[in-house]
Amino acid sequence: MSEKFEGATTALITPLFDDGSINWRDLQNLVEFQVNSGINNLLSCGTTGQSPTLSWEEHSTITKTIVKINNNRIPIIAGTGSNNSEEAVRATYEAYLEGADATLHVTGYYNMPAQLGIIDYFSRVAKASPLPVIMYDVRGRGHPPIMPATRIYLAKNYPNVIGVKEASGERNKADWVETRRIARENGFDKHTFKIISGDDPATFSMMSDPEVEGVGVISVWSNILPNVYVSLAKALSEGNIEEGKKIDDSLKKLNSIVGISLSYQINIEDKEYQITNDSFRNPAAVQFAAYLLGMIESPRLRSPLVVLPEEGQKLVGKTFLELYESHPEYFKSLTEYFKPVPTIEDRLMRYR
């Protein structure tokens, strides 16, 4: 059994009706599915949950609802980060009142603070509640880096700063290694300062490297296959690298479509113009997959996010068909809980 906030954590999607309002019935089903499938932790209102499109009142209500459904079965992490420190302080304290077990913080998007500003931000949210705080380094979404020395400075000065969700990409692997090196020099082991993968494709690398000692993943695709990502994290945390590599290899194509690039045409006054390599990033693919597999009522995303166009839907469908045909056991938990009609096989066969 993994320690708290380690292992596989699902960054839960936010299911919507076609009119864009939150589908609370679907949300309840998703939470129950995750818990029943053995997921280690849940994250509410992360990027995968369309957090930038949610009001702070919706953040609060979603977290409160998930906490109530969960009923103390597994730890709940609430996304309460902001590029406005005062907003983050209020949201963090509210998450504490709502019964969350920890908070996760993106920081500094668009306004791009210096490291001293990041230190100021995290000192404020760390003092806002007694909840553990997880930093979130996600440079690909317009965030400044949280540098290794900054991370450990905060952990040394604020004991409830317990680790980092690392989504800076493999090209910044030197920062993962440097973070662990400085952490060790300052008396932290892998459990007292946690490095958690924030990219599904990077999980194997982060958890199998003794210079990094990653302790888990906050995952997108565990929305669909929580049991599989639990098995992956468990194998790697127990040092069963061969088994972990086997699972990771089976997920490579799926992990490659967390975001999807597409080229297509738009029509302006009867003239067609080519859009090349347009990026449909998380959560477009996972939201459509959950709809395709009968887990939620609508694939709807809130503006300015949009549902995948047909080309992207085909890619998601074909990827899942291939995975289903090679590893039908991966879908057992989903089938048993949702009992989709038509069946998963019938839903996917249209993409053959």
| DSSP alpha helix (H) spans, 50-209 | 56-70, 85-98, 115-128, 148-157, 173-185, 203-208
Rounded Cα distance between 22 and 12, Å, is 13
- H and E: helices and strands count for the chain: 14, 10
Please, what is the end-to-end C-alpha distance for the chain in angstroms? 39
Q: Which residues, 6+ apart, have CB-to-CB distance to 210 below 8 Å?
A: none
Distances 101 to 89, 134, 167, 243, 330 between C-alpha atoms, Å: 16, 11, 22, 31, 29
* 273 noted as active-site residue: no
Given 96, 121, 136, 324, the catalytic residue: 136
How far apart, in whole angstroms, are the C-alpha atoms of residue 207 and residue 161? 20
Answer positive or negative: Cα dihedral of 45, 68, 27, 1: positive
Given the residues 165, 190, 194, 234, select the one marked as catalytic.
165
| Catalytic residue status for 136 | yes
Catalytic residues: 136, 165
